[in-house]
Amino acid sequence: MYTPNEHRYEKMVYNRCGKSGLKLPAVSLGIWQNFGYKDSFDNMEEMVHTAFDLGITHIDAANNYGNPYNGSAEENLGKIIDRGMRQFRDELVISTKAGYEMWDGPYGDRNGSRKYLTASLDQSLKRMKLDYVDIFYHHIFDPNTPLEETALALDNAVRQGKALYVGISNYNKAQTAEIMSIFKELRTPFIVNQPSYSMLNRWIESDGLRDFAAEQGIGLSVFSPLYQGLLTDRYLNGIPADSRIGKGRTWIKNELTDQKLSQLRRLNDIAASRGQKLSQMALSWVLREGKVTTVLIGASRPEQIKENVEAVYKLDFTQSELSAIDAILSE
C-alpha cells in the first residue's frame, strides 16, 4: 500500500491560478508520454508516487494521451489512483482535455462541438474512474465550430458537476479574449490557458498572450517547457538510444543542428554557473517573472521528476544572466 511522504508540502511552491481560488504547484506532471499501454506500469506508478511525494498535486491528462492507443494514459492513471491514491483524491488536481482526433467518424475528429466535448468528458471520467475532473480543457481552437458552442459545452460540464473549472489550450491571445468574453457572460469558472512555452519557443511573448493572461487574471499552465527534451543535457554529446529522439517519439530531431547544439552548450554553461542543470534552469526561466502558474513536465523515470522539481528552489536570475541567455537565444 502506498504511503505518501508526510513532508510533501514543505518545499513545493504553489501559485494561484489566475484570479481563482485554486492553487497549482509550480511544477506539474503531464502524462502525454510514457503512460500508454506499451509502457511499464510499475514505472509510471512510481513516477506518480514520486511526484506526489514531492508536492506535485496536479496531474495533467487528455483524452488522446497514450497514442497510438488513445485513452490509455487516462486508464493507467485511473489504475494508479485505485492502487492506493483514491483516499488522496481531495489533495489532487486532475485535469483532462478534448479537442484533437479521438475516435472514428465525424463526432470524434478534431473539433470543439458540444457533442464531442460532452461525450469525451464522459469517457474520460469512466477511464479514470472519477466523478469529476478539477479542470476540463478544450485542447485546440476549432475555427469551424462557433466559440459560443464550445464555451457552452465547457460551461455545461461545470453545471453538471463533471468539472470544477474550465480551461483552453493552444489558443492565441485573440482567441483567448474572444472566448473569455463569452465565459464572463455565462459566469463560467474559466481560469487557465495551456500554451507551449520555453526558451526555444517564445510565441506567447510575441503574440501578447503571456502579458494578456497576467492582466486579465488567467492562469498559464505551459507545456513543453523543455522543448521536447532539447533543453536538457541529454543531447549535448549525441543522441541516446533511450531518448525521445532516439525512440522516434518527437519531431525535434531536425532542429538539433550544430548551431543549436552550440547554443545549448553555452546555456548549459550558464546553468552550471548557477549551480543548476540545463533542464532546471530552463524551468526556472519559464517561471521567472511569475506570469506562468505552472510548468508541465513529462518524464520517463522518477529521477527526472526529482531533478526537475529542484527548479523551484532557484527562480531568481540576475540581469546579467538574463541578458546572456537572451543573447544566445537571439543568434
Q: Which pLDDT belongs to residue 242?
A: 60
- Predicted confidence (pLDDT) at residue 238 exceeds the cutoff of 70: no
Q: What is the pLDDT of residues 275-329, one digit of tens each?
A: 999 999 999 999 999 999 999 999 999 999 999 999 999 999 999 999 999 999 9
Residue 256 within any structural domain of the chain: no
Q: Which three cell numbers stand for residue 146?
A: 462557433
pTM for the whole structure:
0.94
Residue 121 within any structural domain of the chain: yes
Question: Look-up: residue for cell 469529476?
Answer: 132
Residue 245 within any structural domain of the chain: no
Question: Look-up: residue for cell 466523478?
Answer: 131
Amino acid making up residue 99: G
User: What are the residues whose beta carbons fall under 8 Å from the beta carbon of 63, sequence distance 6 or more?
Assistant: 70, 71, 74, 96, 97, 98, 100, 102, 120, 123, 124, 139
Residue 142 within any structural domain of the chain: yes
Residue 217 within any structural domain of the chain: yes
Residue 4 within any structural domain of the chain: no
Q: Which pLDDT belongs to residue 285?
A: 98
Host domain of residue 175: 14-232+285-314
Q: Which three cell numbers stand for residue 320?
A: 546579467
**How far, CA to CA in Å, does 98 sit from each of 102, 108, 270?**
8, 10, 39
CATH code assigned at 121: 3.20.20.100
Q: At what angle do helices 114-128 and 147-159 cross, to 10 degrees?
A: 40
277: phi then psi, degrees, rounded to nearest 5: -85, 165
The Cα–Cα gap between 76 and 128 comes to 8
- Predicted confidence (pLDDT) at residue 177 exceeds the cutoff of 90: yes
Residue 323 within any structural domain of the chain: no
Q: Which pLDDT belongs to residue 241?
A: 56
Nearest-CA neighbor of 196 among 168, 224, 177, 230? 224
> For the chain, how many structural domains are there in total?
1
Instruction: Round the average pLDDT of the chain to a whole number and report it.
Output: 95
- Predicted confidence (pLDDT) at residue 150 exceeds the cutoff of 70: yes
Q: What is the pLDDT of residues 63-88, one digit of tens each?
A: 999 978 899 999 999 999 999 999 99
Amino acid making up residue 50: T
- Predicted confidence (pLDDT) at residue 255 exceeds the cutoff of 90: no
Residue 118 within any structural domain of the chain: yes
